């Protein structure tokens, strides 16, 4: 069975600086998707970025980028120029390529932005 591990329960960063959130996963599959979701205090889960495992190029979305290391089964999220609105819980999630339902979630990392 697949598992997702986020080893940092909490991280803090100074506004305008860069922070990296870690995620590792365990799978025997070669094709899959990886996601980072953001959950602000409003509780709404919002997709931040996604990565297809067959793509070697790291995904980027504006200030958000990932470092996808398939051999190491690592999928970290880098947030550049941190803003106060980035404060939230961040969840890493895994989905098998041939599954249309099962997202496997990490326990989350709470990101604190210091003004």
Residue ranges in contact with another protein by CB under 8 A: 4, 9, 33, 35, 42-47, 50, 52, 91, 93, 95, 100-108
Distance separating alpha carbons of residues 69 and 83, to the nearest angstrom: 26
The minimum distance between CB 111 and another protein, in angstroms, equals 16
Q: Minimum CB separation from another protein for residue 86, in Å?
A: 18
Distance of alpha carbon 17 from alpha carbon 92, whole angstroms: 21
CB nearer to another protein: give 16 or 45.
45
């Amino acid at each position: 069975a697949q598992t997702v591990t986020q080893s940092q329960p909490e991280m803090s960063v100074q506004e305008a600086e860069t922070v990296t959130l870690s995620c590792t996963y365990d799978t025997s599959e070669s094709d899959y998707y990886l996601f980072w979701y953001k959950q602000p205090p409003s509780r709404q889960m919002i997709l931040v970025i996604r990565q297809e495992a067959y793509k070697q190029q790291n995904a980027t979305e504006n200030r958000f980028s990932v470092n996808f290391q398939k051999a190491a089964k690592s999928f970290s999220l880098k947030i550049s120029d941190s803003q106060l609105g980035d404060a939230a819980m961040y969840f890493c999630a895994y989905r098998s390529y041939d599954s249309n339902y099962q997202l496997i979630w990490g326990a989350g990392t709470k990101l604190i932005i210091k003004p």
